[in-house]
């Protein structure tokens, strides 16, 4: 269970990082 939670957490971090990378041009101030 702990391993599954770690994988899920890392996937969330990856998704967050990729979303920032892809949305960065739209937030260019």
pTM: 0.49
Confidence of residue 1 (pLDDT cuts 50, 70, 90): low
In the predicted structure, residue 29 carries a pLDDT above the cut 70: no
In the chain, the largest separation of any two C-alpha atoms, in whole Å, equals 42
Q: 3 or 23: whose pLDDT is higher?
A: 23
Three-state DSSP class for residue 7: helix
pLDDT interval class at 11 (50, 70, 90): confident
If one compares 10 and 7, the residue with the highest pLDDT of the two is 10
| All structural domains of the chain with their residue ranges | 1-29
What is the rounded average pLDDT for all residues in the chain? 81
């Amino acid at each position: 269970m702990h391993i599954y939670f770690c994988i899920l957490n890392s996937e969330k971090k990856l998704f967050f990082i990729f979303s920032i990378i892809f949305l960065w041009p739209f937030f260019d101030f």
